[in-house]
Amino acid sequence: MFSLESFMDLPLIWYGLISTAIFLYVLLDGFDLGVGILFPFAPSESCRNRMMNSIAPFWDGNETWLVLGGGGLFAAFPLAYAILMPALYLPVVFMLIGLIFRGVAFEFRFKAIGKSRKFWDYSFHFGSLVATFMQGMVLGAFVQGIKIQGRSFGGGAFDWLNAYSVMVGMALVFGYALLGATWVIMKTDGITQDWARKCAGYVLGYVGLFLGIVSISMPMMNTDVKALWFSLPNFFYLLPIPLSTVVMFVMLWRGLIKGKEYLPFFLSIGVFLTGYVGLGISLWPWLVPFEVSFRQAAAAPESQSLLLIGTVILLPLILGYVAYCYYVFRGKTSDETLY
């Protein structure tokens, strides 16, 4: 049996890879879920068609990152997968059902006529909304810590449900709405773009508010997190993270006012990235906060090695052809049926 254990830190590499996969999921499905959240508020039917067309070729690939997150967690950190799934059972179920109703809407909507099309519009909207809100609740429950017993989840069925997780759920709805709005700015023009720019302005304010609340509450809820961020010299090392968030936030605001088309989307990604990195630092090294570290949850080195070899070869290839697909569908989207 081969194993790369002796010359590389496999659990750390996998921790990095899974974190990256989850982040890519948040970004990529984030913007198309965000489009779904904003969907019914668009000014006209042809705007909605354009919005839908702008993500129709991608949503399926975007959601695959979630499968990689789930499957990758099972493969690289089976213990974490085995604890987190029962712990977050109900929000995960609701998220999945939300994803089902929005996912099929892509196909069904174009085939439906009259009233039933309206139904799939709402299926797309509420599905996206529920899936996003539940992902936020999962995150909210996750950062508050998971109870365990032996090698299993040891808490109750509704541990995940409290005011804090509801707040994080709402925060993520606004966060994805920002990604969605800036995506629509980039991919459309005319009234759709004007409307999306207005939306982006509104949700940006809320995103700032929630970012502030989460950033303050995290250290207040957990003394370790507080010690990490506010002890010297850590404070100065970590300062660039919140600072760059603020800088990008302001640039994003100005970009929207100046009518930039591409910049807002990429700055939204930047804001998400710094938020994600900040969260990662706070939760280091826990994979099941604050009970199981990524080292404790790691699969056997042989298992991590086997999948790592494939990942090193395949991941660049995947990123390459995903980029190719985005390139094929570059530019502004029309409102005509695509096929």
Partner 1 sequence: MIEKFDPVLLARVQFAFTVSFHIIFPAFTIGLASWLAVLEWRWLTTGKTVYEEIYRMWVKIFAVTFGMGVVSGVVMSFQFGMNWSVFSDRTGNVLGPLLGYEVLTAFFLEASFLGVMLFGWNRVSPKMHFAATIIVALGTLISAFWILSANSWMQTPRGYLIGVDGLLYPTDWMKVIFNPSFPYRFFHMVTASYLTTAFVVGGVGAYYLYRNQHVKHARVMLGMAMIMAIFVAPTQAVLGDLHGLNTLKHQPAKVAAMEGIWDTQKGAPLKLFGWPDQEEEKTNYAIEIPKLSSLILTHNLNGEVKGLKEWAKDKRPPVAWVFWSFRLMVGIGVLMIFTGVTAAILFLRKQLFAKRWFQLWCVAMTPSGFISVLAGWFVTEIGRQPYIVYGVMRTVETVSPVMGSQIAMSLLAFIFSYFFIFGAGSYYILRLIGKGPDIQEQEYGTHGVKKPPLLTDLTSETGGKHV
Please, which residues have CB within 8 angstroms of residue 99's CB and are 6 or more apart in sequence? 63, 66, 127, 131
Distance, CA of 35 to CA of 48 (rounded, Å): 9
Judge whether 282 and 218 are in contact, CB under 8 Å: yes
**Min separation Cβ 84 and partner 1, Å:** 7
CB closer to partner 1 out of 74 and 266:
74
Stretch that binds partner 1, among 238-246, 258-266, 274-282, 305-313 (CB under 8 A): 305-313
Distance from the Cα of residue 97 to its chain's centroid: 17
Distance, CA of 51 to CA of 62 (rounded, Å): 16
67 binds partner 1 (CB under 8 A): yes
CB closer to partner 1 out of 84 and 228:
84
**Min separation Cβ 183 and partner 1, Å:** 16
Stretch that binds partner 1, among 138-146, 257-265, 281-289, 294-302 (CB under 8 A): 294-302
318 binds partner 1 (CB under 8 A): yes
H-helix or E-strand spanning residue 152: strand 152-153
User: In this structure, is the dihedral angle defined by the CA atoms of residues 105, 106, 107 and 110, taken in order, positive or negative?
Assistant: positive
Stretch that binds partner 1, among 97-105, 217-225, 231-239, 247-255 (CB under 8 A): 97-105
CB closer to partner 1 out of 77 and 249:
77
Cα–Cα nearest to 15, from 310, 285, 253: 285
Please, which residues have CB within 8 angstroms of residue 226's CB and are 6 or more apart in sequence? 219, 220
111 binds partner 1 (CB under 8 A): yes
Mark out the alpha helices in 259-333 (DSSP H runs): 263-283, 294-297, 301-328
**Min separation Cβ 70 and partner 1, Å:** 4
Binding letters toward partner 1, positions 238-277, x by CB under 8 A? ----------------------------------------
Distance, CA of 294 to CA of 70 (rounded, Å): 15
- Written as one letter, the residue type at 238 is L
84 binds partner 1 (CB under 8 A): yes
Judge whether 166 and 137 are in contact, CB under 8 Å: yes
185 binds partner 1 (CB under 8 A): no
Which residues make up the interface to partner 1 (CB under 8 A)? 1, 56-58, 60-61, 63-64, 66-68, 70-72, 74-76, 78-79, 81-86, 89-90, 92-94, 96-97, 99-101, 103-104, 106-108, 111-112, 149, 151-154, 157, 299-300, 302-303, 306-307, 310-311, 314-315, 318, 321-322, 324-325, 328-329, 338-339
